[in-house]
Amino acid sequence: MLWIKAWHVVFMVTWFAGLFYLPRLFVYHASATDSAGIERFRVMERRLFAIMTIGAGLTAALGIWLLVINPALLGAGWMHAKLALLVLLVAYHVWCWRLLADFAAGRNVHPPAWYRWFNEVPSFLLIGIVLLVIAKPF
């Protein structure tokens, strides 16, 4: 079980690295004015999204495996809260995908400052998830 937990955390870190960096790329992409720069950001964003989606999928698969091994965790209040935050995190991931698609189609409607604020969302979700898992407050 410890090996599964360890890999779950490794892939969670991969996922969050992408969630932290992709919106930062959006900041730079929204500021870019030259066609070569815009195309470079499209490629970088697409590749990063693929890597972070693999990390998300493996994180989910290993998390489900952990719950199958220890289904009693589903009775814990902190796990319910963690899973609720996870739903928000998945929604954020999907929102990133939509923004990526908008950039790819040349339909960005947000200024760079909006993406700077958007980039903060996963930080709060990460803090909440880690505190719930480590402290198990309820």
CA 24, distance to chain mean position in Å, is: 13
Q: What's the Cα-to-Cα distance from 111 to each of 28, 62, 94, 107, 135, rounded to whole Å?
A: 10, 37, 20, 12, 38
76-109 pLDDT, tens per residue? Answer: 999 999 999 999 999 999 999 999 999 999 999 9
pLDDT of residue 127: 98
Domain boundary assignment for the chain: 2-135
22-79 pLDDT, tens per residue? Answer: 999 999 999 999 999 999 999 999 999 999 999 999 999 999 999 999 999 999 999 9
pLDDT band at 5 (very low <50, low <70, confident <90, very high): very high
What one-character DSSP code corresponds to residue 137? Answer: -
Q: What's the Cα-to-Cα distance from 14 to each of 9, 51, 123, 127, rounded to whole Å?
A: 9, 8, 14, 16
pLDDT of residue 35: 96
| Distance in angstroms (rounded) separating the CA atoms of residues 124 and 115 | 15
| Distance in angstroms (rounded) separating the CA atoms of residues 64 and 58 | 10
